[in-house]
Structures are given as C-alpha cells and as structure tokens.
Copies of this chain bind each other. A is one copy, B any other.
Amino acid sequence: MDTENVIAATPLFQGLEKRYQKDLARIVIKQTYRRGEMIFAEGDQSKGFYIIATGRVKVFKISPEGKEQILHIFGQGEPFGEVPVFTGQPFPAYAEALAETSTLFFPRDDFIGLVRTEPSLALNMLSVLSMRLKRFTALIEDLSLKEVPGRLAAYLLYLSDRSNGANELDLEISKGQLASILGTIPETLSRILTKMTKEGLISSDGKRHIRIKDRMAIEQLANGEKRLT
C-alpha cells in the first residue's frame, strides 16, 4: 500500500480534505523495522510521531529487574508516540516492533502546523488521545482493583467484543506477551488458564486459540463477582 492510501485509510485523518492528505503524504517519512527492533526508548527526545502502515508495535514500560508492562499493542492504521508531540517532553515509554513493521513518521513541526489550519484534524487527534486515556483508565482499574483471573477474563471479553461477540478467540500474541499485558508473569497466567479450563469456563488448544464456554461465569469473573476456586 502506498503512502497516500495508508493516510486515506487512517481513522486519524478521516474527514480531512484530500489536499491536506496530499500535503501529509509529502511530509511523512517511511520507515521499516525488523521484528524485535526498538523504535524509540523511554527518555528519547521526540521529533514526531508514527502511524503503522503494516505490522505491529508494542509500547511498554520495563522495571530494573526486567519485568515488562505492555501499555498497548498497536496495529495497522494506529498512531503511536504522539504524547511528546504535544508535551514537548521525551517519550515516556519504549516502543518495539513485534513483527516486520513499516511506519509513516510525521515530523512534529509540520504536523502541528497542519493541526493549526485543520480543526477536524485537531478534533480527530483529541478523540484518539481521549480513547487512549479511557483505555489507560481501564488498565489502571484492572491492575489496582482486580486479581489476575479477573484481568484475564476482562481481556477475553475485550477480544470477543472486537470480533463482534465471537466465542472462538485468537490471542494473536504469545502467552508471554499476554502476561505482560495483564501485568503478571507467564507462570501465573499458565496456572490460571489451566484453572479456567478445569472449571469449564474456557477450552484451549494449548496454543493461541481459546473458546469461551461459559460467558456468564467469565463476565462475573471480570466484574469481581466470582473467583476461581
């Protein structure tokens, strides 16, 4: 897919006049990253933000002991690394490609100039940041107020919603990455998946496929109305 088509297909740029989209296409810089490659590090100075043309990127924090907390995994058409564009401060987290990934890089000054002249772009960006705040709010709630089984249950329901209510889920990521999203470690996640299977809430092929067998119980788990025994 060429640059202009990527831009046209990106939600952030919906409602933006064609000529501005063309302007954007002219200022972006294409970049590609290999699986595992670092895109930016916490503390790095920022010169702009990214949109994913193809591939996947994880944005995460890491502790001195090496435990990792994934903030979000971004896929096609999603912007990431915007925060420093508007705060003027360094990146507050790390970003790494989870697969071969190509991005469009938008230099900060050009982009801000365009925001000044295009209110719909500003409103789209406000919407993107607001959605992200909402997600983070949910993550904080999970980490602080739910136990790991509840977080996993909420995550399964989230995946199900994304594929409009399906009971057959594809995790799309490794169990290790999932543990890092849920704020736990692979051993704990593994034990909980085993328990949920034994209690008949889910079944699994042991790989990345999971079937929701008792949605009611999973919802109760996610809402803290129930616990695994």
Contact = CB atoms under 8 A, between A and B. Distances in A.
Query: How many subunits of this chain does the assembly comprise?
Result: 2
Interface in A78-117: 82-87, 89, 92-93, 112, 115-117
Grouping DSSP codes into helix (H, G, I), strand (E, B) and loop, the A interface class, with mixed when no group exceeds half, is helix
A130 B63 contact: no
A86 B122 CA distance: 11
Contacts of A130: 82-87, 129
A144 B64 contact: no
Contact of A67 (B64, B84, B85, B145): B145
B127 A87 contact: yes
Nearest to A68: B145
Contacts of A117: 119
A30 interface: no
Given A134-B83, A145-B63, A126 B126 contact: yes
A84 B117 CA distance: 24
For the complex of A and B, list the 5 residue pairs with the smallest distance between their C-beta atoms, beginning with the closest. A122-B122, A63-B145, A86-B130, A69-B144, A116-B119
